[in-house]
Structure 1
Amino acid sequence: MKTIYLKVLMMCLMINTLSCSAQTLPLYTALENIPNNAHVKDTNNELSPYIGTYKANYEGNEITLFITKEENKFFDYGDQKFFRDALIVKYIVKNSAGTILQDTKNNNLNIDFNSTKIKSTQNSVIFFYSGTNCSVGWGNVYLKKVNTTQISWEYRPNDITTTESKCPSTLDTTIYLPETKDLIFTKQ
């Protein structure tokens, strides 16, 4: 009886171990293939080369990106909820006089700016950007690794306008991020 109990216990432990490891998926897993409560993990440290502080100038403004990696970031797409290792971007935009126009690094602005997909063959990462107040300017940002110290930036906003019914006139709905392609940011 004791032998049967031990065999059943070992079998349960083995099944439990296999089911837990089956929920860890590689970074390249397509969104539609991620089951609930899975973990999409950066097992090959492919996000690490993007981590750091980067600067660029565009139309008289200085943009500083602060890119960090967050492990086990929770993603909630309604019916689909899972964890993913992701890059998180905070930024500061200053005008030519040094005045801060927008600061998501030091202020508690409710702006999501995180990686959603990596394309290793193109050496690039795709980010979702939730936009400024009232989601104005939400869209995708594409960062491509040019070399060890530079990344190329492309920002494709999906919504760049607002209406009075969408957003109160007292809120700043200016898009401060550079709406351009092939802007080079240099690692500091």
Structure 2
Amino acid sequence: MKNTLFIIIFLFIVLPFKAQQVIGTLEQFEECSKRPNRDQEGCPDLENITYVKDTNNRLDQFVGTWKGNSNGKQYEIKLEKKINYKDDPTDRRSWDMIIGRVLIKDNSGNILYNSMDKPDNKTNFSGYNFQNSRTYVMSFTGNYDCLEAGDIFIETRLNNPNEMAIFYEQDKDGWLNPQKCPNFSTFIPLFPHQKVFLTKQ
């Protein structure tokens, strides 16, 4: 009897919270990002959305392990699709999104960067939405002391979905502390500023 009573009370508490979830789509938020007055006005028609869902499974094309070489570096990138994900449990909105992990080595096999063992909210490589119908935007932070942070744009090729292009665009703002990055003038970012092509494994 106590178990039955507990289950009934539990359902009365949990079900109202589940019912309050308001679902939107990645496409709605992609359209929102292109509105001419978005910076001033936002997207008030989407404010009540609590879960941004990948209803058309557009993120699935990126899932997997990708490898390639560029400028003397070997890249291995593992991309996972997360469903109804929040970086922080207190976030008001959850997303279907891609979380990335990166292993970068030099030509001698020395590890330059490795986030493969990091938990989802500590990879410093995650995305929220598409820039256009094919290009997904992810934010990346490497050595922030040397201002290594920005967006990585990823897209699979139309004629070969097992090949993916990535492009890194460094943020132009930030505060450089010369004591923490004494070699800034010769600092080379982990990702180059030209396209790198990776192959799905």
One-letter amino acid of the counterpart of residue 73, structure 1: Y
Q: Determine the structure 2 residue equivalent to 1:114.
A: 126
Contact in 2 for aligned 1:75/1:84 (Cα 8 Å): no
Distance 2:139 2:48 in 1: 20
Are 2:116 and 1:102 aligned? Answer: no
| Count of residues in correspondence between the two structures | 165
Structure 1 unpaired stretches of 5+: 1-15
Q: Determine the structure 2 residue equivalent to 1:38.
A: 50
Aligned-pair identity in percent equals 20
Which of 136, 144, 151 is residue 140 of structure 1 equivalent to? 151
Are 2:167 and 1:154 aligned? Answer: yes
Q: Look up the SS of the partner of 2:28 in the other structure.
A: coil
Contact in 2 for aligned 1:138/1:159 (Cα 8 Å): no
Are 2:23 and 1:24 aligned? Answer: yes
1:69/1:164 Cα in 2 relative to 1: closer, same or farther (>3 Å)? Answer: same
One-letter amino acid of the counterpart of residue 166, structure 2: W
1:107/1:36 Cα in 2 relative to 1: closer, same or farther (>3 Å)? Answer: same
Question: Which structure has the highest helix share of the two?
Answer: 2
Are 2:175 and 1:164 aligned? Answer: no
1:78-114 deviation line (CA, Å, top 9, x unaligned) = 9x83100100110000111111111011357944211
Distance 2:50 2:173 in 1: 34
Distance 2:148 2:172 in 1: 5
Q: Determine the structure 1 residue equivalent to 2:98.
A: 87
One-letter amino acid of the counterpart of residue 26, structure 2: L
| TM-score normalised per structure 2 | 0.69
| TM-score normalised per structure 1 | 0.73
Distance 2:139 2:49 in 1: 21
1:39/1:168 Cα in 2 relative to 1: closer, same or farther (>3 Å)? Answer: same
Distance 1:112 1:91 in 2: 10
Distance 2:172 2:189 in 1: 10
1:174/1:104 Cα in 2 relative to 1: closer, same or farther (>3 Å)? Answer: farther
Distance 2:142 2:178 in 1: 17
1:160/1:60 Cα in 2 relative to 1: closer, same or farther (>3 Å)? Answer: farther
1:82/1:107 Cα in 2 relative to 1: closer, same or farther (>3 Å)? Answer: closer
Task: Name which of structure 1's ranges 86-95 and 30-39 shifts more when overlaid on structure 2.
Answer: 30-39
1:177/1:68 Cα in 2 relative to 1: closer, same or farther (>3 Å)? Answer: same
